[in-house]
A and B are shown apart, each in its own frame.
Chain A
Amino acid sequence: MPKHETPLLDELESGPWPSFVSDIKAEAASRAKNEKNVEFQIPVDVCDDLLGVLELSYKHGRTHWKHGGIVGVFGYGGGVIGRYCDQPGMFPGVAHFHTVRVNQPGGKFYNTAYLKQLCDLWEFRGSGLTNMHGSTGDIILIGTQTPQLEEIFYDLTHNMNQDLGGSGSNLRTPADCIGSARCEYACYDTQSMCYALTQEYQDELHRPAFPYKFKFKFDGCPNCCVASIARSDMSFIGLWRDEIRIDQAAVAAYVGGEIQPNGGAHAGRDWGKFDIQKEVIGLCPTECMRYEGGKLEIDNKECTHCMHCINVMPRALRIGNDRGCAILVGAKAPILDGAQMGSLLVPFISVEDPYDEVKEVIEKVWDYWMEEGKNRERLGELIKRQGFQKLLEATDIEASPLHVSEPRSNPYIFWKEEEVEGGWERDVKAYRKDHLR
């Protein structure tokens, strides 16, 4: 018999998809049984009360969580998000229900011992409910009470070698793709750079520094597995400057059907014989490929590194050898004011430990945004408000055609008077000699 009747929530379980309601109910049942004899440090029925308050919110069409709060661990201005219920009498289990953000490991590599340790900690000191992972990338531990926070922080940092992530107006937990640990498309070591910058910017990560949130994401190639181009204020996307390496014998093997295209993905259905013309050449967005007389050619200077041909024929085509990354800025995916993709700021930068060149760009961008950004204004909104040119000036980067995404649709870059011969002034008399009124 559940503690609270939840007819509205129950409906969410009736659809074809797995439901978070079923998950919370499962955790509620597991806590009630307590087969492992855990000495729960917060109310055993926290999950029941969570379902109860959610049901009430559905009934009222309003949230019953208060807005924000003053919680945190000593010395940190982020990582814990205070949540208080406005009906603590009805739902004492969730009177406080704070969220803890934990900095996920690089590439989200775990071993099972670590995951067990994390879950044990969270059953002991929290609700047992987690979100793996939040949209920023963190491990999210959902629901605990104020007296547990320092204890959790101690355990994470001392026994699990693990830190809190960012929240509020901080640098948010940097996130990366698995990169060269497993992926042959990686043009730089995403985990190394993500780790180095996380260490370098500890202060920005843990103590509020900015007008609003700021996210870094690291993708080893333009496939963008962590969607950096869409979801981070500063996105680092690996790419090469030279040529796609072609193995003509492997190309022939794809054409002859000896190697499955797309690494064997989409193989559950018969799509017919592989057609290199239709499936690769014809889909190259810049039409820079040619397959003639059994030979594949690429006009590399026209290639936009879209990755399509490499994804389809990974054994025949490889990323180039002269590798680095591009830096894009200003993406965001907020609820208000609409989503925005990143704009190219640095077309190519070398990425070598200790990443000094990259840090120089980052710090110039921050100085500009901290000075000029309004409260709660993301970098992308500031760029839109002031124009891309202002950012180029602040970062000492010269405008180039690469900064223009398409002719006539990019309002970012303007000439300044001192850059134009003769300035804005003209000799009207001289002009009138050739041009009648």
Chain B
Amino acid sequence: MATDEQKKLIVEALEKKTGKSKFYLKDFYTMIPDLKPRAIKNIVNEMVADGILEYWSSGSTTLIGLKGVGKQAGAEHED
């Protein structure tokens, strides 16, 4: 289970990013200090289930972003 504090850290880190709206899972690894990649993965997936984040997929890769931000244009580098 992710704590509210952990979720907040991720949302804040994402809100600070400019230019891009979708990120690789790896980009989340540094958002919460001292957690193993697998623990971060679990938090991110939980936040998708909560409706805070959403997946975007090209079929071969998956990117993750704040729900509703950027939309399709972001994926095509048009925003």
B-binding residues in A (CB < 8 A): 66-72, 74-75, 77-78, 80-82, 84, 99, 167-170, 203, 207-213, 367, 370-371, 373-376
Per-residue CB contact flags for chain B residues 29-45 toward chain A (1 = under 8 Å, else 0) read: 00000001110010001
Chain B neighbourhood of A203, CB < 8 A = 45
Smallest CB gap from B62: residue in A: A168
The answer for the CA separation of A78 and B62 in the assembled complex, in Å, is: 8
With contacts A168-B57, A207-B45 taken as known, whether A375 is within 8 angstroms of B62 at the C-beta atoms is: no
Smallest CB gap from A168: residue in B: B62
The answer for the CA separation of A68 and B65 in the assembled complex, in Å, is: 14
Cβ-neighbour of A211 out of B25, B59, B76 (below 8 A)? B25
Smallest CB gap from B41: residue in A: A209
Please name 17 pairs of A and B residues whose Cβ atoms are closer than 8 Å in the assembled complex, sorted by A.
A66-B72, A67-B76, A69-B75, A72-B55, A82-B57, A167-B59, A168-B61, A169-B62, A203-B45, A207-B48, A208-B55, A208-B64, A209-B25, A370-B37, A371-B37, A375-B61, A376-B24
Is A168 within 8 A of B58, CB to CB?
A: yes
Is B59 within 8 A of A208, CB to CB?
A: no
Give, as a whole number of angstroms, the nearest-CB distance from B35 to chain A.
12
With contacts A169-B62, A211-B24, A375-B24 taken as known, whether A70 is within 8 angstroms of B72 at the C-beta atoms is: yes
Classify the secondary structure of A's interface with B. Answer: loop
Smallest CB gap from B55: residue in A: A77
Chain B neighbourhood of A67, CB < 8 A = 58, 75-76
Which residues of chain B in 11-25 are interfacial with respect to chain A, using CB atoms and an 8 Å cutoff?
A: 24-25
Chain A neighbourhood of B48, CB < 8 A = 77, 207
Chain A neighbourhood of B25, CB < 8 A = 169, 208-211
Which residues of chain B in 39-79 are interfacial with respect to chain A, using CB atoms and an 8 Å cutoff?
A: 41, 45, 48-49, 54-62, 64, 71-72, 75-76
Is A168 within 8 A of B59, CB to CB?
A: yes
Cβ-neighbour of A68 out of B24, B26, B64, B75 (below 8 A)? B75
Query: Number of B residues contacting the other chain (C-beta, 8 Å)?
Result: 25
Smallest CB gap from A375: residue in B: B24
A-binding residues in B (CB < 8 A): 24-27, 36-38, 41, 45, 48-49, 54-62, 64, 71-72, 75-76
Give, as a whole number of angstroms, the nearest-CB distance from A200 to chain B.
14
With A77-B45, A80-B57 given, name 12 new contacts (CB 8 A): A70-B71, A75-B49, A168-B61, A208-B45, A208-B55, A210-B25, A211-B25, A211-B26, A212-B61, A370-B37, A371-B37, A373-B26
The answer for the CA separation of A169 and B37 in the assembled complex, in Å, is: 14
Give, as a whole number of angstroms, the nearest-CB distance from B57 to chain A.
4
Number of A-B contacts (CB under 8 A): 90
With contacts A77-B45, A78-B62, A208-B64 taken as known, whether A68 is within 8 angstroms of B37 at the C-beta atoms is: no
Smallest CB gap from A71: residue in B: B57
With contacts A81-B59, A168-B58, A208-B25 taken as known, whether A66 is within 8 angstroms of B38 at the C-beta atoms is: no
Chain B neighbourhood of A374, CB < 8 A = 26
With contacts A211-B26, A370-B38, A375-B24 taken as known, whether A70 is within 8 angstroms of B54 at the C-beta atoms is: yes
The answer for the CA separation of A209 and B54 in the assembled complex, in Å, is: 14
Chain B neighbourhood of A72, CB < 8 A = 55, 57
Chain A neighbourhood of B38, CB < 8 A = 209, 367, 370
Is A81 within 8 A of B57, CB to CB?
A: yes
Chain A neighbourhood of B71, CB < 8 A = 70
The answer for the CA separation of A132 and B56 in the assembled complex, in Å, is: 26
Chain B neighbourhood of A370, CB < 8 A = 37-38, 41
Chain B neighbourhood of A70, CB < 8 A = 54-57, 71-72
Chain A neighbourhood of B49, CB < 8 A = 74-75
The answer for the CA separation of A74 and B62 in the assembled complex, in Å, is: 16
Smallest CB gap from A75: residue in B: B49
